[in-house]
């Protein structure tokens, strides 16, 4: 850790009586308080402000618990919850990359890899390696658990946009086609939830909260 990278715990170091291992763990658990300040693009339903990453991660954990029966593949639910709990941690340093912000997506992977290196090394080596492996698993989507976790990550902002009657669906350049493409990871986790999302998008187009794609009847070809 260089002097360019102050940690929150430096503001008030933990008692010297604590073991090195526990000090590292609690210092990390203080540092991740920052996730509560990383704002996402999605509007809350229950208040007039944007959602933060910690709230989002909690919401996904509950979604995994309640919607796991819709997973197309057999999943370990406890493992899937672990994936969603840690999936956004790197945004503490890398920031959130909104789903419909193509400019921000350009260097997203590079930013997030650097953030992972910086953040996870605060932990004892065995736990750093384990949390890093969980994050890599989530990103790679090569396990059934990672695919379902990513499906939840895409489904949650759909719920929020639906309740907002627009939300980030109304950003410039976003049409029904763009939305379907960006949320397509849902299809890899659950066909039933993908069908439900199709209904929501179709109803959203009919209601005027979503611009139809340029190739559809009624499409206006905006950006």
Rounded CA separation 223/13 (Å): 51
DSSP per-residue codes, 26-67: HHHHHHGGGGGG-EEEEEPSSSSSEEEHHHHHHHHHHHHHHH
Min CB(223)–its own copies separation in Å:
26
Measure the CA dihedral 146/115/98/106, to 10°.
-100
**Counting contacts by CB under 8 A, is residue 39 touching its own copies?**
no
Measure the CA dihedral 79/84/86/88, to 10°.
160
Kindly give, in sequence order, each residue whose CB lies less than 8 Å from that of residue 37, ignoring residues fewer than 6 positions away. 52
**Counting contacts by CB under 8 A, is residue 205 touching its own copies?**
no
Query: Is the CB of 3 or the CB of 199 nearer to its own copies?
Result: 199
Return the bridge partners of 39, or none.
Answer: 52
Query: Is the CB of 51 or the CB of 188 nearer to its own copies?
Result: 51
Q: Per-residue x/- marks for its own copies, 85-104, CB under 8 A?
A: xx------------------
SS3 220: coil
Min CB(40)–its own copies separation in Å:
12
Query: Is the CB of 80 or the CB of 97 nearer to its own copies?
Result: 80
Question: Which residues are at the interface with its own copies (CB under 8 A)?
Answer: 8-9, 11-12, 14-15, 17-18, 22, 25-26, 28-30, 32-37, 44-47, 51-52, 54-55, 57-59, 61-63, 65-67, 70, 76-79, 81-82, 85-86, 123, 127, 159-160, 162-163, 165, 192-193, 196, 199-200, 202-203
């Amino acid at each position: 850790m260089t002097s360019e990278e102050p940690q929150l715990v430096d503001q008030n170091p933990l008692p010297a009586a604590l073991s090195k291992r526990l000090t590292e763990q609690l210092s990390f658990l203080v540092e991740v308080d920052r996730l509560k300040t990383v704002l996402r693009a999605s509007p809350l339903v229950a208040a007039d402000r944007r959602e933060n990453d910690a709230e989002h991660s909690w919401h996904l954990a509950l979604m995994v618990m309640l919607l796991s029966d819709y997973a197309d593949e057999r999943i370990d639910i406890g493992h899937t919850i672990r994936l969603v709990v840690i999936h956004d941690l790197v945004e503490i340093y890398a920031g959130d990359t909104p789903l419909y912000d193509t400019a921000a997506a350009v260097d997203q992977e590079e930013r997030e890899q650097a953030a992972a290196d910086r953040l996870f090394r605060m932990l004892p080596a065995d736990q750093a390696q384990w949390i890093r492996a969980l994050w890599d698993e989530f990103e790679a989507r090569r396990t059934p658990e990672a695919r379902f976790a990513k499906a939840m990550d895409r489904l949650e902002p759909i719920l929020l946009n639906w309740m907002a009657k627009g939300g980030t669906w109304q950003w410039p350049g976003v049409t029904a086609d763009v939305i379907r493409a960006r949320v397509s990871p849902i299809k890899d986790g659950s066909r039933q939830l993908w069908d439900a999302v199709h209904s929501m998008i179709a109803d959203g187009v009919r209601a005027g909260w979503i611009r139809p794609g340029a190739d559809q009847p009624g499409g206006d070809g905006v950006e």
